[in-house]
């Protein structure tokens, strides 16, 4: 029997967290609410922006006028 090496999930590494923060997951209500509150726009406006420009946080913020 060979021992298997377990690796940490990507979200545990600094790189994984940084990449996760750079994106807006439109399927996650808490992410949509956060971005809506931050930009002063509605949740549906955030979802439309994500659909139009992709899930890059910078692009979504630019589209929402931040």
On the 0-12 / 13-18 / 19+ scale of CB atoms within 10 A, 47 is middle
Q: Is the pLDDT of residue 8 over 80?
A: no
Beta carbons within 10 angstroms of residue 63's beta carbon: 19
Whole-number Å distance between alpha carbons of 40 and 35: 8
Q: What is the pTM of this model?
A: 0.72
Confidence of residue 49 (pLDDT cuts 50, 70, 90): very high
Token pair 């979504």 is at which residue? 60
SS3 state at 57: helix
């Amino acid at each position: 029997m060979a021992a298997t090496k377990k690796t940490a999930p990507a979200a545990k590494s600094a790189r994984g967290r940084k990449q996760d923060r750079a994106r807006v997951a439109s399927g996650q209500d808490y992410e949509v609410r956060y971005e809506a509150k931050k930009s002063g726009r509605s949740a549906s406006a955030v979802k439309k922006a994500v659909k139009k420009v992709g899930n890059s946080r910078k692009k979504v913020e630019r589209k929402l006028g931040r």
